[in-house]
């Protein structure tokens, strides 16, 4: 009997709600691939005690919490952002300030976990955790430089010899094109995002790393950049790439 591999997934934040991530990965990785995933949006669950129970970690969220809310002008589904919000009695106005959630102990736990043989799959906006923790950045391999608004871009396979990109063709998604400062060996880069319309972001141009993979201690790391929408995550070529990534991370290929 084949043993079902299990992963712990920390997902969801202000700009990337946990439901769409659970829906997308629930199809691609759970239903279609056979991976068992315990999803959580509780950041305190990322710790050494949790990680020791799983051969694989998935992180699909940014690095901020908003303990005082998002402010009166924030958009909520089903609410007209231009309409006045009425409350009687009035809701106290709190200044919406973000704060990093990752602690030194959490960063150390992630690093020790992968060094000891754990597999880590980082998606999309996980680069936004790196500014707040050097251990996490050392494992994940980059730090965010930001992104433009959602728009079409192409994901170009730059290393087709790796098991993750094998039999994966270039594909186009309408998504946030994330830019980051990549810290690791350029030979580990598997794909780049390219805006074929020539649109650039800041002074960073129209092209950036979009996927990489490497051994880290006794473990393995993969990063995949697309992920702001369900259609992007369900692009057939990208689904193949995600399936391949799980197999490679768990040493099934």
Distance, CA of 184 to CA of 63 (rounded, Å):
21
Cis peptide bond N-terminal to 89, omega within 30 = yes
- Residues 221, 188: contact at Cβ < 8 Å? no
Q: How many domains does the chain have?
A: 1
List pLDDT tens digits, range 90-124: 888 888 999 999 999 999 999 999 999 999 999 99
Residue with tokens 């712990």, as numbered in its chain: 8
Range of the domain at 99: 6-76+95-249
Q: Is residue 90 part of a domain?
A: no
- Residues 87, 104: contact at Cβ < 8 Å? no
CATH, residue 173 = 3.40.50.880
In degrees rounded to 5, what are phi and psi of residue 186?
A: -55, -25
Contacts 24+ apart (CB under 8 A), 37-40: 37/6, 37/7, 37/8, 37/9, 38/6, 38/7, 38/8, 38/9, 39/9, 39/11, 40/8, 40/9, 40/10, 40/11
pLDDT at 18 over 80: yes
27 closest CA partner among 244, 241, 250, 230: 230
Residue with tokens 């799980």, as numbered in its chain: 246
pLDDT: which is higher, 177 or 81 = 177
Q: CB neighbours (10 Å) of residue 96?
A: 15
Q: Is residue 86 part of a domain?
A: no
Q: Is residue 192 part of a domain?
A: yes
Q: What is the pTM of this model?
A: 0.95
139 closest CA partner among 164, 118, 124, 125: 118
List pLDDT tens digits, range 214-248: 999 999 999 999 999 999 999 999 999 999 999 99
Distance, CA of 162 to CA of 158 (rounded, Å):
10
């Amino acid at each position: 009997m084949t043993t079902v591999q299990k992963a712990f997934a920390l997902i969801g934040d202000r700009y990337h709600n946990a439901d769409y991530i659970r829906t997308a990965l629930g199809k691609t990785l759970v239903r279609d691939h056979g991976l068992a995933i315990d999803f959580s949006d509780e950041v305190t669950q990322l710790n050494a005690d949790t990680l020791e129970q799983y051969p694989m970690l998935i992180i699909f969220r940014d690095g901020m919490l908003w303990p005082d809310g998002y402010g009166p002008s924030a958009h909520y589904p089903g609410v007209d952002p231009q309409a006045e919000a009425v409350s009687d009695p009035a809701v106290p106005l709190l200044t919406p300030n973000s704060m990093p959630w990752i602690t030194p102990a959490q960063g150390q736990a992630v690093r020790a976990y992968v060094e000891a043989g754990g597999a880590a799959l980082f998606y999309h906006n996980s680069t936004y955790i790196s500014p707040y923790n050097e251990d996490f950045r050392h494992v994940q391999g980059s730090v965010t430089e930001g992104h433009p608004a959602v728009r079409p871009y192409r994901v170009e396979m730059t290393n087709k010899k790796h098991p993750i990109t094998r039999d994966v063709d270039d594909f186009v998604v309408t998504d946030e094109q994330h830019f980051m400062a990549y810290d690791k060996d350029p030979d580990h880069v598997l794909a780049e995002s390219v805006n074929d319309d020539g649109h650039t972001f800041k002074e960073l141009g129209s092209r950036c790393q979009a996927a990489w993979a490497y051994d880290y201690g006794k473990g393995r790391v993969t990063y995949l950049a697309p992920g702001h929408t369900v259609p992007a995550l369900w692009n057939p070529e990208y689904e193949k790439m995600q399936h391949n990534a799980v197999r490679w991370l768990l040493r099934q290929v």
